Amino acid sequence: MSHNPEVAQLEMLAEIDELVARLNRWVEQEVPWGPTRQCRSLLKRLLTRVDSLRIRLETPLVLATFGGTGTGKSSLVNALVGQDISRTGKQRPTTTKPLLLVHPQCEPETLGLPLEEFELHVVESPLLRDIVIVDCPDMDTPELETAGSNLDLLHRVLPLCDVLIIVSTQQKYRDAIVTDELARAAAGCRLLFVQSHAEVDDDIRQDWAKQLSEHYEVPELFFVDSLRALQEQQAGQRPSGDFARLQDMLTGQMISSQRVQIRRANLLDLALEALERCVQKVDGSWPEVEELKAALEEQKHRLCGSMSDVLKQELQVSSNLWERRLLSRVTEVWGFSPFSATLRFYNGMGSFIASFSFFRARTPVQMAVIGAMEGARRLKTHFQASDAEERLERVSSLGMNDDELREAQMIIRGYARSAEISDDDLMQTTLDAMRHTAAKVQDSFLGEAGRKIDDVIEQQARRHTGAFTRTIYELLFLSFPAFLLYAIGKNFFYDSFYRGQDLYTLDFYVPAGIFLLLWAGLLMLLYIRKCRRGLDQRIDALAQDLAESRFQGGLFPALEDAVRLIDHDRESLKSLQQSAEQLRHSLALSNRGPLGRKDPTDLPVSKEPSSLQE
């Protein structure tokens, strides 16, 4: 299915308008980073060109001559309009003030040009119906760029032009001054390259095109004899040679229907050059931001580790209480069995001993002493539980060491300034903000402290009472008593009745009982050690979670938010650059013709685009 070229062009223009809208949104954002602030200033100047573009959409295109002294710019202008308007001569420089040539039907005030800077000429010429011509001053004069000088006038005029005709000769096309000024002026303009003095010079277009191709797109170069072309027109004849092609191109390519396309294409080239420069600036400063991000993470990790160690020490002081509660819950979940009964005996040994002591009491005094000891033991247990709860409160209220925080603040401030993030408001309220966050975390932790410990104990109890674990420990625990029963039964029924051997005496039963106790104790120690290790790990994890909760908004929240915003802002800028590159590529494919352009990716390092500097 074929596509309508006009519809395709309208789609292209709509995409350019969308790019401009995105640029406006990007420029309006506030990001506290030096490089992007500079980029925003640059792009704001670009967007002022958009406003002037909208005003000038229906006005004639502004075509300007550009070249060194004696290259025949004024002669070319006279030939283009078919009249002697611009002064020519051998005395250099000839042009000292820009000449503005307009058609009688053109209203100069609508052009958006500072008319007081020009010498205005109203000329009846077919070529001026859709364009105006500016005969610019020479840029290779020995004078300095002072107010009113040729260079000063040139630099103020060129950003207002849509098309530049670069005029050169066999002697001037390699001139370094002209080359440097062209690199500065060509951004955001369509270019036409003309070699003049065809009547006396050799054709150097091939070598000139080769030289230009490193930095510019050069579809075509024209080789003209301006004086001859003017004489032919004054004699009522059609100009001959390349001049005729140049004149036809200007009256055809520059017709009214092409104005918007050319001006939007110029704007796109200028936007791409500005965006390329902004991306270069941002990428050049990005390593410092990466160092700041790494420093923030390092300081957060260091302070979080320090706080976590303090919290672990506080929580581990009450580990015996947590262990007893864990064993109690384990025996509840385990149910009744020989090994769980042993665990119950171990966990309640104090109460068992006290109860057993009551049976041995013979006098009221002994019972009173035993009762006092049991009361003291229960009171001690109560105090330990209360102390554990108090420690939870102290743990929840442990704040950041202000000295450590100030040290981290000084380190981060140095990285922030190196990264050109020098907004002190991002860091001044850090201490108060951290304390406020700590207070909120404390309230939250106090409300859930008991539940957190209970959850840890419940999780560990379920973890260590699985069917596999219970089976292994019960079998191991019963293996030794089973062996003893087997040995005793064999001795009683077989050895004594059939073989006439003596029954085992206390010499057998006492060591057997001792070894049974040792075997049970060993299994209990192994199991308790396993439970304790798991409990310690969970308590350490709880301390780590609490420490990290103090940093849930970041060590320096405002600064970290700013870094994330800068990262997003940088990606948005690169997205704008990629969109501009894609549009430029599409526009280049759809516009094949003699108009050239500067390669926007060929950027000098230290300068802004020249057409945005004014």
C-alpha span between 434 and 554 (Å, rounded): 9
Q: Does position 121 have pLDDT exceeding 70, yes or no?
A: yes
Please compute the mean of the pLDDT values over residues 497-511 and round it to a whole number: 83
Mean pLDDT of 460-489: 88
Position with higher pLDDT, 101 vs 495: 101
φ, ψ (nearest 5 deg) of residue 195: -95, 125
pLDDT range class, residue 260, cuts 50, 70, 90: low
Q: Whose CA is closest to 610, among 265, 40, 117, 154?
A: 154
Cross-strand bridge partners of residue 235: none
DSSP 116-152: GGSEEEE---GGGGSEEEEEPPPS--SS---TTSHHH
Instruction: Identify the CA nearest to 187 among candidates 209, 162, 212, 166.
Output: 162
* pLDDT greater at residue 437 or residue 98: 98
Enumerate domains of the chain plus CATH numbers. Answer: 5-283+569-600 (3.40.50.300), 317-555 (no CATH)
Q: What are the tens digits of pLDDT across the range 394-411?
A: 444 445 566 777 777 788
pLDDT of res. 494: 83
Q: What is the mean pLDDT of residues 199-212?
A: 89
Structure confidence at residue 291 (pLDDT):
92
pLDDT tens by residue, 78-115: 999 888 887 765 444 444 678 899 989 888 887 877 88
Per-residue pLDDT at 74 exceeds 50: yes
At 212-223, the pLDDT tens digits run 888 888 888 999
- CA 555 to the chain's CA centroid: 19
Choice among 12-26, 264-278, 317-331, 425-439 with the minimum mean pLDDT = 425-439
Please say whether the beta carbons of 90 and 69 come within 8 A: no
Tokens of 290: 């990466």
- Confidence category of residue 194, pLDDT binned at 50, 70, 90: very high
Give me the percent of the chain exceeding a pLDDT of 90. Answer: 10
Question: What is the rounded distance in angstroms from the CA atom of residue 67 to the CA atom of residue 140?
Answer: 8
Report, as an integer, the average pLDDT of 371-398: 49
Higher pLDDT, 439 or 539: 539
Please state the three-class secondary structure of 385-396 as a single string.
HHHHHHHHHHHH
Residue 120 burial (CB count, 10 A): 13
pLDDT band at 570 (very low <50, low <70, confident <90, very high): very high
